[in-house]
Amino acid sequence: MLVEAISEPGGAVATEVIDPRTTYRLQPLLHDLVSTVLAPTTALGGPDGQIRPAGVQGLFHADSRALSQVKLEVDGREPEAVGYAPDGPGGARFVSLLRWLGDRRPDPTLRIDRIRRVTPGGMSEQVEIASTASTAVHATVTLELSCDFAPIEVVKSGGDTVPAPAENTGPGELSWESDRIRVTVTGEDCKAEPGDTARLRWQVTLPPGGRIVLRWNAVIDDPEAVVVAPAHAVEWSRPRVVSADHRLTRLLEQSLDDLRSLRLAEASAPGDTFLGAGVPWYLTLFGRDSIWAARMLLPLGTELAASTLRVLARRQGTRVDRESGEAPGKIMHELRRHEFALEGHDLRLPAAYYGTIDATPLWISLLHDAWRWGLPEEEVAALLPNLEAALGWLGEHFDSGSGFVEYMDTSAHGLANQGWKDSGDAVRFRDGHQAEPPIALVEVQGYAYQAARDGAALLEAFGRPGAARWRDHADTLAERFRAHFWVDGPQGRFPALALDRDKRPVDALTSNIGHLLGTGLLSDEESAVVAALLASPAMADGFGLRTMSSQEGGFSPLSYHCGSIWAHDTAIVIAGLARAGFGAQAGALAEGLLAAGESFDYRLPELFAGDARGAVGRPVPYPAACRPQAWSAAAAVAIVHAAVGLHPDVPAGRVLLRPLAGTPLGEVSVRGLRVAGEEVDIEVDRDGTVSVTGLSAGISIEIVGNG
């Protein structure tokens, strides 16, 4: 077998693996690229500011690439990069030098600041060239531009693309057009040169100590995009956090910027916002991801949760379709403008795909949690028919032969695994071999138990029938779970990852069991067992929680789901540990994420390698991870929430406070959380003493210690 790798400065190209029997391409890497985002538009390029015709670099809109090259040159040479910095949502600044121009001395005398601004449907740059030279400088500045209109799935699979020719459509203006998208680039005071590789050209003269500013912008017209920018301002508060650990404040600030940049709406309903899953592969509606991100942001207000619930309710399943996985009452997984098919792979997903086993119970619990945080009753009531439909879907799965909620791809070209660990090799036994479907995942049983009880609470509160039925279902599920999921392992008894097609426990120790904490499925004693296992070195001696124990046969620190660390997964477990009273374990995992955030310039990626801290010193990037990514950014809010331990039940008129005490976070002050629309401030001392102001009159407070 031969392996050919083609690379260019600043970006990797897909690797081609050549075999006498088959040829396929690998997903391009992006860990060393800079993303500038204001959804649904993203610029991905090198840290030097260049966007080269390589790999996944480009200017993307929705799920298509609008420009595949944006390369700046001066006198035919690329500037020498010295640094870059993010500049808020949609902004970045890149600094370079022109050392071959100006005075011949050690210090550079020509500097370029390339200030990039991405907006929904476009991008602009301001190129500032400043001279401290003692003589005038004359130069030719060019911007090389290419466009291939490549769909994101072609880019993701490393497929071949063909540049489209540009036309000169006006002074300083170039345009590219496909059957559905038009891209127009305009430069100020420049010459436009069309072609497959088009150019904008400026002739510049800088007097001694002079400065000049060049400007250009791109506009994308894409009327068939299914996602657009929301029609109104950001839905959530921006809390002000002061912490003894300054990493928490910096992580939250960057994360809130990233969350703002990932806001999306459907083209058909721009008034309802949701969070796109991640850049670049998943900048669209994803049921599970959008739900979890909205759930983590509930301490900042209920508006995002409400709109996410409505968006998904409008697309709730109404029929049985084996190709898409749709079923009555089911919440969808993924939305695209057309079929999503990876070149060289069997995967082929319809534009509206329902292949998820957990989005439906998570939708139910998001509605319940938003109600508890103070979502107005009329908004909850409007979604009760969808709640009943979702419970109906859940009930059919409860009544399946196994007695558990399970999945199996019925299309033969959909996702083989349909939980949050949805890679094809994610469900493995302790010895490393893969489980065969249908699969009943451990965390999904926890979600289903919680959804049944949450649904019962909502039905009862709003005078709808069926509450007793769903509590009985939950009780039955709990009994079955204890009888079938608990297995013996090297560290004692623990819940298995899943049950396979033969109803055998898949006996690997994984992070999935941490999602059971807080669902109510575990007893106090069982929660203590799970907490101890999650805090063991095999799971937690990296920068967060490993997806799989390092002692398992399938473990690999750079696998997608079998040993890597996911920020959102760790944050969910932190929240569960804190809520269950395991403050020390929650604090240790939180410190790991803060250390990872510092290493990644406070923009947590989708995932990173699960190496031990003692082995690597800093987290190793997963090279194809999304960044920014919604639920990774939301993890910062989850850490703040766990630190203050605010758990409201607005309909019942009470709030539970269970702050973390004695953790590496130290003292924490948070101003600007929201409960029932009111701004709430909380302060937690190092010893866990807590004070809260701003709660509405009539809400009682109960304070509980946290170990």
Q: What percent of the chain stands above pLDDT 70?
A: 95
325: alpha, beta or left? (left if phi > 0; alpha if psi -120 to 50): left
- Give how far the C-alpha of residue 59 lies from the chain's centroid of Cα atoms, to the nearest Å: 19
pLDDT at 5 over 60: no
pLDDT tens for 255-295 read 999 999 999 999 999 999 999 999 999 999 999 999 999 99
In angstroms, the CA 333 to CA 355 distance is 6
Query: pLDDT for 599-613, tens place per residue?
Result: 999 999 999 999 999
Cα torsion angle, 472, 477, 478, 482, sign = positive
- Neighbour tally for 223: CB within 10 Å: 8
pLDDT value, residue 21: 41
Q: Please report which helix (H) or strand (E) contains residue 575, including its range.
A: helix 567-579
Would the pLDDT of 456 be above 60?
Answer: yes
SS (H, E, C) 88-105: CCCEEEEEEECCCCCCCC
Name residues whose C-beta falls within 8 Å of residue 292's C-beta, 6 or more positions apart in sequence. 362, 568, 572, 631, 634
Give the pLDDT confidence score for residue 665 in this predicted structure. Answer: 79
d(CA 544, CA 564): 10
pLDDT digits (tens, 9 = 90+) for 605-659: 999 999 999 999 999 999 999 999 999 999 999 999 999 999 999 999 999 999 9
What average pLDDT score do residues 182-199 get? 97
Q: Assess whether pLDDT exceeds 80 at residue 344.
A: no
Give the CA angle between residues 612, 495, 467 to the nearest 5°. 125
The whole-angstrom separation of Cα 17 and Cα 4 is: 6
When pLDDT is averaged across residues 296-308 and rounded to a whole number, the result is 98
Give the pLDDT of residue 4: 33
Structure-derived torsion over alpha carbons of residues 97, 101, 102, 104, reported in degrees to the nearest 10: 100
d(CA 185, CA 217): 6
| Cβ atoms 44, 58 nearer than 8 A | yes
Domains of the chain from N-terminus onward:
33-225 (2.70.98.40), 228-691 (1.50.10.10)
pLDDT > 90? residue 314: yes
Residue 54: both structure tokens together: 């390589």
Instruction: At 37, give phi and psi (nearest 5°).
Output: -135, 135
| pLDDT for the residue 707 | 59
- Tell me what the pLDDT averaged over the chain comes to: 94
pLDDT digits (tens, 9 = 90+) for 156-170: 999 899 999 999 999
Give me the mean pLDDT over the 370-390 stretch.
Answer: 98
pLDDT value at residue 397: 66
Closest CA to 243 of 629, 669, 640, 671: 669
pLDDT at 504: 96
Burial of 23 (0-12, 13-18, 19+ CB in 10 A): exposed
575-587: average pLDDT: 95
User: 5-16 burial string, b = 16+ CB within 10 Å, else e?
Assistant: eeeeebbbbbbe
Query: φ and ψ at 82, to 5 degrees?
Result: -125, -15
Between CA 563 and CA 546 the distance in angstroms is 5
Q: What is the dihedral of CA 408, 414, 416, 420, to 10 degrees?
A: -100
| Segment (H or E) for 42 | strand 41-45
Q: Does residue 99 surpass a pLDDT of 50?
A: yes
What is the spatial distance between Cα 634 and Cα 290, in angstroms, rounded to a whole number?
Answer: 11
Q: Quick one: pLDDT band at residue 342, thresholds 50, 70, 90?
A: confident
pLDDT attached to residue 36: 98
Q: Map residue 423 onto helix, strand or coil.
A: coil
